[in-house]
A and B are shown apart, each in its own frame.
Chain A
């Protein structure tokens, strides 16, 4: 029997989509060429952030998602959901002013913000360097262990009848006229009522198998992992420049400090952004930059050992917004990919919105800014 919904990708977005679709009563099959959470989901920090987005469509999506993650932590659970809050700090007075002004506009969009003058930073983060100009606290920021989140959502979906098939690679689409009616895979044809492209960084490749263009490209990042520690850092702490880097179009290396603890005791240190394709080579230069910035923010970390590093590839689109919704160029195909570095955070809303579309319910959010065909035809030079 064909599934109602076939989801391509067993990362966190595919998992959330499978969960919400299965919960709505759809029969769901998830396929992934690799293992569960084997792509970008397994290479991130597990951020659920509202702090790093200026007012606009992505912030609306993030706000919807952060509420849904809180529900998922109760409904599904088991993935180390930690509503720790985020603390954004600025090194200079002009930086602080810009940060406070951003916070004020975010506040207007429904984000909870608390301005923290320099003198009060230590109350929130005792180990923070004293040489900062001030910061803003975002109590709405949270964190999950992303691989556990994907695995737990898939397990919950399986309990509602979903099937998860790992090691199955999609090689093409089944069509009936224009309409997408399933996929061809390394394990045979899988017909389905609808197909969801949740292939993350590889979402563009899947789209092209269906003959449509969705420009998703990789943006490499490294993360340093420390030895297990007591709680030294309470929030996700990052520098105001991080917000600028996220939205930057520069292909060159950018780094800005992002430091946070985890339930297991390690501290995770990011963040770097480079457009170098899928190059997996370790970059000593990037690791040094990450370490230097983390120590500048938290001098106590100077003696702490790094025991691991990992890299991943964020799926980004030219306008830094994800692709969410039906593809009018290939009816029956839905996209849920291109979330760049915010895929964990935005997964819950993305899955929920796709499930609403599949159930022909009105979506909770206007999806126009995320529509797949927004990039238009490629114009010949």
Chain B
């Protein structure tokens, strides 16, 4: 039996020790954020925490590297736009 987290309203299964990013790629999800300037889609590039391309919001904390964050059962993972903190804009 594998555990799952929620990604943009759907269930994504993961196996023990996988990161959020690895589980998303395994589930066929290629991108989960858009860039600030041109709104381009991005997902995992370097896979080892160097490039910060795979930023994602996990449990309401934005800008986490999906390739480093361990997947956790019941976590709420959301794709993010731009800086991931648009709700704070004044």
Interface residues of A (CB under 8 A from B): 125-127, 227-234, 265, 300, 303, 305
Contacts and interface: CB of A to CB of B under 8 A. Distances in A.
A230 B63 contact: no
A265 B83 contact: yes
Interface in B55-90: 61, 63, 82-83, 85-86, 88-90
B10 interface: no
Contacts of A231: 89-90
A80 to B, nearest CB: 15
A125 B88 CA distance: 12
Most chain A CB within 10 A, of B63, B83, B90, is at: B90
Contact of A228 (B36, B61, B88, B90): B36
Contacts of B85: 229-230, 232
B68 to A, nearest CB: 14
Contacts of A234: 90
Given A227-B83, A229-B85, A230-B85, A265 B36 contact: yes
Contacts of A305: 63
Contacts of B90: 125-127, 231-234
B88 A227 contact: no
B35 to A, nearest CB: 10
Secondary structure dominating the interface of A: loop
Contacts of B63: 227, 305
Contacts of B82: 230
A233 B88 CA distance: 10
A234 B90 CA distance: 8
Give me the 7 closest cross-chain CB pairs, A-B, nearest first: A230-B89, A126-B90, A228-B83, A230-B86, A231-B89, A229-B83, A232-B88
Contacts of B83: 227-230, 265
A278 to B, nearest CB: 32
Contacts of A127: 88, 90
A316 to B, nearest CB: 35
B39 to A, nearest CB: 14
Nearest to B61: A303
A125 B63 CA distance: 24
Given A126-B90, A232-B89, 6 more contacts: A227-B83, A228-B36, A230-B82, A232-B90, A233-B90, A265-B83
A303 B83 CA distance: 13
9 contacts: A125-B90, A229-B83, A230-B83, A230-B88, A230-B89, A231-B89, A233-B90, A265-B83, A300-B88
A126 B85 CA distance: 15
Most chain B CB within 10 A, of A125, A230, A233, is at: A230
A126 B88 CA distance: 10
A229 B85 CA distance: 7
A230 B61 CA distance: 15
Contacts of A230: 82-83, 85-86, 88-89
A300 B62 CA distance: 14
Nearest to A124: B90
A230 B83 CA distance: 7
